[in-house]
A and B are shown apart, each in its own frame.
Chain A
């Protein structure tokens, strides 16, 4: 048999056994990845959801431009975000004295920036669509602006959740930013994507494949769940 194929299949075997036996090194990396990406998504959501709703509901000069910008920023390359955060946090940078470079905190900051426009843009779109539909009814029954916002957020909650999950899917899968600002330090800032990159280049395919498998399953199930949720909500509430 071709030795390359042989090596590949034994790597897959090793990868699966690592997953099944919950290899401590692998688990540590997976948990750190989840902690960083979930933190980033939560932090970004706290600002992005209200901001998205505000942009959707409050007309102001230049709103169209802001919306275009926000949508464009959804495609922000993670590597560039990593570079910017690196410059901010490096010794010579404005936030250098805080000593955050090559820490999980730095990675959370970078990922927050990456997912922020995604969550803000998607929530703005969700609230704007719903507002267009509900506006006349809400005005007719005499809603205060606050009551309108509460109504829209409540009825749009499934679409907002979809936006948040899209942000998480992006965060957990990106490698450029966390590699630059985290530095891929073992037991400290090594996450799934950076490990895969490193181990592959080292030829340690078992760990890379095992993590790759977990990452694929995670990313697919997050996307799948988002789809199922919005589909179910659509069917249930119309």
Chain B
């Protein structure tokens, strides 16, 4: 298996191919590879994501989850292989996506101004901005903090602001990188609730986590990454009840992978 794809990568996933008219789906990766200085970070990953809903990229730290997400958003470019969002290239698709990195960059401005900034960058007419900002802050439960400097918010509030800001223009796809790392259970619940709401409104969710419990709570399908490879991609029900991959099964059993 030194050079070829892992068996899991060759599978087709007809059961996930729910027919839909999502503008950016299916997301198709073929033999995706990413190297830094000759060091492989992503090894020949292939997958096909056709369903809307919440796709969770699960795996231990260092598996390549973040890099895969950044590749999908076009922040970095693959060394080899191909990646397409529906009929669009990654760069074309980005205008209809939003990404929330693990440590979101909040501008040195007020909470409201952070949302406002995206709207002005996207050239939303001034008249509409006020209402959109108000709706976004409402959804994030941050209305009363609108004029506070964004960076003085708590971790959970910052994460909710980042998601609200990302979703203010209802992107077709929302990419989230470990959105609840370092949050307490209450804040995790609030953030997950927001993610559900955004997903229910029709936005495709693509999210990484190393937290098995969180994956269980949120996933409609799971991509299991370990050691820079995609080992399994299955619906959540299938993955959690009977993982096909032996490493995935060990991971689900709570074993510490090395």
Contacts and interface: CB of A to CB of B under 8 A. Distances in A.
A155 B107 contact: yes
Majority SS of interface residues in chain A?
helix
B105 A133 contact: yes
Interface stretch (A104-112, A141-149, A169-177, A211-219): A141-149
Contacts of B30: none
Interface in A120-149: 133-134, 136-137, 139-143, 147
A60 interface: no
A136 B150 CA distance: 18
Interface string A196-238: 0000000000000000000000000000000000000100111
Contacts of A90: none
B121 A142 contact: yes
B117 A151 contact: yes
Nearest to A147: B121
Nearest to A136: B75
Interface residues on B, range: 20 to 34
The residue in B98, B117, B151 that gathers the most chain A C-beta atoms within 10 A of its C-beta is B117
B94 A140 contact: yes
Contact of A140 (B99, B108, B117): B99
Given A142-B94, A142-B95, A237-B151, A137 B121 contact: no
A148 B3 CA distance: 42
Contacts of B151: 237-238
A139 B94 CA distance: 9
Interface residues of A, number: 16
B154 to A, nearest CB: 13
Contacts, number: 44
A140 B73 contact: yes
B76 to A, nearest CB: 10
B105 A141 contact: no
A142 B109 contact: no
Contacts of A143: 121
B89 interface: no
B118 interface: yes
B101 interface: yes
B162 to A, nearest CB: 9
Nearest to B169: A141
A237 B149 CA distance: 5
B250 to A, nearest CB: 34
A133 B73 CA distance: 18
A158 to B, nearest CB: 9
B75 A139 contact: yes
Contacts of B105: 133-134, 136-137
Considering the complex of A and B, which 10 residue pairs feature the smallest CB-CB distances, nearest first?
A238-B151, A237-B108, A137-B105, A155-B108, A140-B99, A237-B149, A147-B121, A143-B121, A141-B118, A236-B149
Interface of A: 133-134, 136-137, 139-143, 147, 151, 155, 233, 236-238
Interface of B: 73, 75, 94-95, 98-99, 101, 104-109, 117-118, 121-122, 149-152
Given A137-B101, A140-B75, A237-B151, 18 more contacts: A133-B105, A134-B105, A134-B107, A136-B101, A139-B75, A140-B73, A140-B99, A141-B121, A142-B122, A143-B121, A155-B107, A155-B109, A233-B108, A236-B152, A237-B109, A238-B106, A238-B150, A238-B151
